[in-house]
A and B are shown apart, each in its own frame.
Chain A
Amino acid sequence: MLETINLSKTYNGVPALHPLNLKIEPGEIFCLLGANGAGKTTTINLFLNFIDPTSGSAKIGGLDVVSNPLESKRLLAYIPEQVMLYKNLSGLENLEYFTSLAGGKHNTGELRGFLAEAGLAATDSDKRVGEYSKGMRQKVGIAIAIAKKARALLLDEPTSGLDPKAANEFSALLRKLSGSGAAILMATHDLFRAKETGTRVGIMKHGSLVASYLTSSLGHAELENIYLEHMHD
């Protein structure tokens, strides 16, 4: 579902992403680990077609994101570190707006259902987003993904700044989405969350994917050691 073929990005001759070959199948959660500047966000931005690749291609559902920018985006949902919404609209109105722009048509009952599924309390749906915590905004982001029936999810540090309970709830939602067949790519610094949530983890360093493991094959401590070893090089 999510695939890169020799995908690379260079800024003024400085490589931000070395040729990357990656394939994330439906139902899989691939967590990209790495220090700041390792190339995680660059990879996500290339999938989103927010930046042009220097070489290679990124594909979503087999569609090249550069030659099919609109079509490929219809298949995905994007949840950044902070899901930014319109503060003068309620969570429900934001959800309705974003899903309608994505081509979805849902009645209010369905939209409330998506928000409930994402874990947002019914009493909060009609509050203006200006009053929302980060966790609540992230839940609206998840609700957008649910409403869109996204087949691919791109997440960039989505649990950063969330309290443990909220982060745990978020992870549970991701597992639920992957269980329904979505391919998920999540960039994160959080080793614990990556191990708990992901089906695979990849370690990026200086723009290269240097290692990739099945999370089921590693313990928390083992993952941490491997990660730190790569960071020390």
Chain B
Amino acid sequence: MKSEPIAEVENLNVAFPMDRGESRVVRDADIDIYQDEILGVVGESGSGKSMFAASLLDGVVEPGVSRGEITFNPPDGGDPISVLDLTEEELRRFRWDRVAMVFQGAMSSFNPVKTIGAHFKETLQDHNKNVEEGLERGRQLLEDLYLDPDRVMDSYPHELSGGMKQRGLIALSLLLDPDLLILDEPTAALDLLMQRSIISLLREVQTNYDATFVMITHDLALLSKLADRMVIMYAFQFIEMGETDEIIWNASHPYTRALLASTPSLASDIDEMKPIPGDKPDPVEQFHGCSYSSRCPLADERCREEEPPLRAVEGSTTQQTACFHYEDAAEAIHLPSSPQEAAESAAADGEGQ
């Protein structure tokens, strides 16, 4: 699966100055994003995942500051771009052309007094593109997303349903053929059927247009149907990453396992679904040791004093975890380790009723 990294993130920190101290909402993040992959970033609200996403196009809002290195390697062979060092003008071109983003809540991303078509046209003009060719591509994109281009281009945002707007926005974001598309909760406000349909469409579009996707979401179950690889964020840090199968069947961080166990699902044994006790930490707090230690069943003295680094899980080249005791996690938080085991457990659950 591994190809060249399209973006390399090193030691990324995002902080907001606040009255009661600095609020550090992304802490020491390191990750390579590979070309043509769909990378999923999962976390609960306030875990820092949207801030990480915004940093990829240096888009953290004032007074927030992103520090560290984000290197973008153009797939067409251009010179590496240091994203956090770009000037305003360079950044304006870098966004859309290289990296595009679909924000949460498509409802407010369109200008209510302009047609969808006008948004497409304006975007092309602003970036000095051939409008006619561009619109043709736009129409094709809309069609690929099961929208009628004639109707949608002439519509105002309020004339479209939420699902249509969201698909229109995805088409718009791909208009200038970006190398990397960041999707921040692209399905959160949508209905179930639309969510699932958009997930299938995203996979198709990603393959057809050769783009790399980074999808930010709290919905682990939905993401598991789309992502090639996942990063789990807890308390502003990456605590685990790996290929989707590794995360689902062999999660090694106690938080990842607890999150999987707490996610309601149609097939899992309801007696195995458990909430995660305790509260998540405050972003202003300077915690010692592992940020999850106060809620973790495996935590000991060492966890409370020393911060576990992200390191490779034994036997895998792709999975990394930030836990001293990951070998014991599977025993402490039980989850099925294969589809067969899951099916057996669900069947046993049914008989018990």
Do A and B make up one complex?
no
- Chain B: residues with CB nearer than 8 A to chain A? none
Interface residues of A (CB under 8 A from B): none
